[in-house]
Amino acid sequence: MIDFNKIKGFICDMDGVIYRGNQVIPGVHEFIDWLHKEDKKFLFLTNNSCYTPKELQQKLARMGLDVSEDHFYTSALATAAFLKDQAPGCSVYAIGEAALFNALYDAGITMNDINPDYVVVGEGKTYSFDTITKATNLVRGGAKLIGTNSDVSAPIETGIMPACGALVSPIEIATGKKAYFCGKPNPLMMRTGLRLLNCHSDEAVMVGDRMDTDVISGLESGMKTVLVLSGVSTVETLKTFGYRPSAVLEGVGDIAKFAEEYDD
């Protein structure tokens, strides 16, 4: 078991770790109280591109959780940062929510549905047959295909919903072009998270509910990893992967519980 008292920085996923849809997961209040009490550095690093850091801060506040806006980083921000670095001042055709558009605008990227440099796909209610048809033909015309994250599903109160990896797949299949994904497990996003925490990888732990994004991204970044079973993964899921997390817990509340027991 990891000695969580010796960990300086915590990078946590959100969907399936902190909440499912609009329901907070049991043990989360205790976990966040412990982070504050122990003065731990922490960052919520989410592949969900639908919300801005301010919206995420407000969402947690409605659940009774006190977390300031600077503790959030999203795949929308990671995508905008990647495009700004690759092609400053480029134009895109984007499918997604306002948070994605805001991140792109803030990075100096403009919208273009005629001859964009990139087609960018995130989750959102604007996704439709018309938008994927438009995106498909723009990619066929030479635009490069970018996805905010490779997750194929995300947990909600009633089960799961399709996520970006699933939503971008019709465009990939129709064009024969593969999307480049900017969210986890892309190491660019993990390095950004560690930089924001001002933490070295061997001093940090990645906490998530997915083996294929959260655990692998932490593992390949040199971090300790915790898989929680409060989201999409189960004990059976572990058997299908050739790597293992440092610890498997029922939920993040166990982190605070084990840390306090270790102290005793």
In whole angstroms, what is the distance from residue 38 CA to residue 7 CA?
11
Q: Is residue 229 part of a domain?
A: yes
Question: Same structural domain for residues 91 and 134?
Answer: yes
Question: Same structural domain for residues 164 and 194?
Answer: no
| pTM for this model (two decimals) | 0.91
Which residue among 156, 181, 206 closes a domain? 181
**pLDDT recorded at residue 70:** 96
**Catalytic (active-site) positions:** 13, 15
Mean pLDDT value of segment 39-46: 96
**pLDDT recorded at residue 264:** 55
Question: Same structural domain for residues 192 and 141?
Answer: no
Question: Same structural domain for residues 86 and 168?
Answer: yes
Classify residue 9 by burial, with Cβ atoms within 10 Å: 0-12, 13-18, 19+: buried
Q: Is residue 58 part of a domain?
A: no
Contact 138, 119 (CB under 8 A): yes
Q: Is residue 240 part of a domain?
A: yes
**pLDDT recorded at residue 262:** 64
Mean pLDDT value of segment 15-41: 94
Which residue among 139, 155, 181 closes a domain? 181
Question: Same structural domain for residues 165 and 216?
Answer: no
Q: Is residue 52 part of a domain?
A: no
Residue 150 main-chain phi, psi, to 5 deg: -95, 0
Residue 81 main-chain phi, psi, to 5 deg: -65, -40
Which residue among 162, 181, 200 closes a domain? 181
Q: Is the pLDDT of residue 263 over 90?
A: no
By three-state DSSP, how is residue 83 classified?
A: helix
Q: Is the pLDDT of residue 183 over 80?
A: yes
pLDDT digits (tens, 9 = 90+) for 107-162: 999 999 999 999 999 998 889 999 999 999 999 999 999 999 998 988 888 888 89
> Which residues of the chain form beta strands (DSSP E)?
9-12, 19-20, 23-24, 41-46, 72-74, 91-95, 110-111, 118-121, 144-147, 153-156, 159-162, 180-181, 204-208, 224-228, 247-249
CATH number for position 129: 3.40.50.1000
Question: Same structural domain for residues 167 and 192?
Answer: no
Q: Is residue 28 part of a domain?
A: yes
pLDDT digits (tens, 9 = 90+) for 215-241: 999 999 999 999 999 988 999 999 999
Question: Same structural domain for residues 158 and 232?
Answer: no
In whole angstroms, what is the distance from residue 32 CA to residue 34 CA?
5
- Our count of domains for the chain comes to 2
Q: How does the average pLDDT of the chain come out, rounded?
A: 94
Question: Same structural domain for residues 195 and 163?
Answer: no
Question: Same structural domain for residues 86 and 162?
Answer: yes
Domain, as residue range, for 198: 4-47+185-263
Mean pLDDT value of segment 163-192: 95
Q: Is residue 127 part of a domain?
A: yes
Q: Is residue 164 part of a domain?
A: yes
Query: Backbone dihedral region of 191: left (phi > 0), alpha (psi from -120 to 50 degrees) or beta?
Result: alpha
Q: Is the pLDDT of residue 21 over 90?
A: no
From the CB of residue 146, how many other CB atoms can be counted at a distance below 10 Å?
22
Mean pLDDT value of segment 85-96: 97
